[in-house]
């Protein structure tokens, strides 16, 4: 299925009604980019060629650029530029700086990028303010080199080695910081190759990613050696339905989590962003009950949770209001606490009392409703 169409505000417009189909029979939502381009440098890499073939096999034309610079994305207005960029996938070589991996606490020891950009339209998107320029999705053709370069980081833990609860994970690599893997896998095949790379690796390592999609068919049955933890980013219905345009429905994400867990993958929940709606206890309670049902009866379940409250920065707010001018997402500095993040950057988080209430509730309710679930961190 194509991504959900959006009205001028960026809010979700209902697409084909899939209600009534059993999760197993429901086709996975898949992104069809409006334009796919490839740079000359990307075509020098075997994986660049593989992506081109994969895209063409899906009936999508690939435009070969004359230079390695991406052009033709800017429109007459910011809205037009946004729409064009979000519909574009570029097959490129990763910037050299990306090979020098950065620590990415508290999620993992190291961040590894296989792509940058995402076709979904979340009105709180984490990428807003983090990436510069129009939000084109760039997928990396030099995958083989990226994966080969990870060997230098094995054994160099920054997070998991210091955390007794995570010591069994080995050195962890987060592969979804700047993208959503399952939104792109059908077009790239990159994360499937990464799963196999980690499975074959002769060292204690873990690949991790989080997703708001549910297209896991090509991962089921893959020899993964338990070395990849797939987390599903989930939220309560009012947040997901109102703010997460173009993603898979939460029940479909949870059905996908179950499929992977039954196939022996370690799995996880990324509950993010936790939003303090007026009726948040009731709404998040419904979500946890859905999770409980999704993991019911899974043998040897290995399930974790990462709990991340909503926050914004002056930069992300400005970008998001440009992308979604009519959003109803609360980003009111007056009702938040101002904090200094890394390198002195300002961010606005919930006040201390709200944070404490949320944290206490999630800790208690996860233990009560999904006792097998281990909380990795709260932020
Ligand atoms: Fe942004 Fe993640 Fe939503 Fe994609 S799925 S738009 S990266 S928040």
pLDDT in tens, 335-355: 999 999 777 789 999 999 999
Strand order in the sheet with 228-234: 102-104, 108-111, 171-174, 205-211, 228-234, 267-274, 303-309, 373-378
Ligand 1 contact, 47 CB (< 6 A) = no
Residue closest by Cα to atom 8 of ligand 1: 125
Ligand 1: residue of 180, 239, 320 to mutate (most ligand atoms within 8 A of CB) is 180
| Predicted structure pTM score | 0.91
Ligand 1: nearest atom to the Cα of 179: 7
pLDDT higher than threshold 90 for residue 22: no
**Which residue, 344, 319, 331, is CA-closest to 131?**
319
pLDDT in tens, 95-116: 999 889 999 999 999 999 999 9
Ligand 1 contact, 126 CB (< 6 A) = yes
State the pairing for strand pair 115-116/137-140.
antiparallel
ipTM of the complex: 0.99
pLDDT in tens, 298-321: 999 999 999 999 999 999 999 999
pLDDT higher than threshold 60 for residue 194: yes
Query: In whole angstroms, what is the distance from residue 203 CA to residue 169 CA?
Result: 11
Ligand 1 contact, 122 CB (< 6 A) = yes
- Banded pLDDT at 130 (limits 50, 70, 90): confident
C-beta separation of 169 from 203 below 8 A = no
């Amino acid at each position: 299925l194509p991504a959900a169409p959006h009205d001028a505000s960026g809010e979700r417009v209902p697409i084909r009604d899939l209600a009534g189909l059993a999760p197993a029979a429901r086709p996975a939502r898949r992104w069809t980019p409006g334009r796919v381009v490839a740079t000359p440098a990307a075509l020098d890499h075997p994986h660049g060629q593989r992506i081109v073939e994969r895209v063409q096999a899906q009936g999508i034309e690939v435009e070969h650029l004359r230079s390695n610079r991406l052009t033709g994305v800017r429109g007459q207005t910011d809205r037009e530029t946004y729409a064009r960029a979000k519909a574009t996938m570029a097959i490129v070589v990763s910037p050299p700086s990306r090979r020098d991996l950065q620590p990415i606490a508290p999620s993992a020891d190291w961040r590894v990028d296989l792509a940058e950009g995402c076709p979904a339209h979340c009105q709180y998107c984490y990428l807003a303010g983090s990436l510069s320029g129009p939000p084109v999705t760039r997928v990396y053709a030099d995958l083989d080199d990226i994966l080969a370069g990870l060997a230098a980081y094995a054994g160099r833990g920054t997070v998991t080695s210091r955390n007794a609860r995570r010591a069994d994970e080995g050195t962890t690599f987060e592969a979804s910081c700047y993208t959503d893997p399952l939104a792109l896998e059908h077009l790239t095949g990159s994360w499937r190759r990464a799963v196999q790379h980690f499975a074959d690796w002769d060292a204690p390592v873990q690949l991790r990613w989080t997703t708001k999609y549910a297209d896991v068919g090509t991962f089921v049955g893959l020899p993964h050696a338990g070395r990849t933890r797939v987390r599903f980013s989930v939220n309560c219905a009012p947040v997901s339905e109102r703010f997460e345009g173009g993603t898979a429905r939460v029940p479909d994400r949870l059905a996908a989590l179950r499929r992977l867990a039954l196939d022996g993958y370690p799995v996880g929940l990324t509950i993010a962003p936790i939003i303090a709606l007026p009726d948040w206890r009731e709404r998040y309670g419904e979500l946890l009950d859905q999770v409980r049902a999704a993991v019911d009866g899974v043998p040897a379940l290995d399930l974790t949770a990462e709990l991340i409250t909503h926050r914004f920065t002056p930069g992300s707010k400005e970008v998001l209001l440009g992308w979604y001018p009519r959003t109803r997402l609360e980003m009111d500095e007056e009702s938040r606490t101002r904090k200094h993040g890394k390198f002195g950057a300002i961010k606005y988080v919930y006040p201390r009392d709200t944070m404490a209430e949320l944290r206490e509730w999630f800790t208690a309710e996860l233990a009560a409703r999904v006792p097998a679930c281990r909380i990795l961190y709260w932020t």
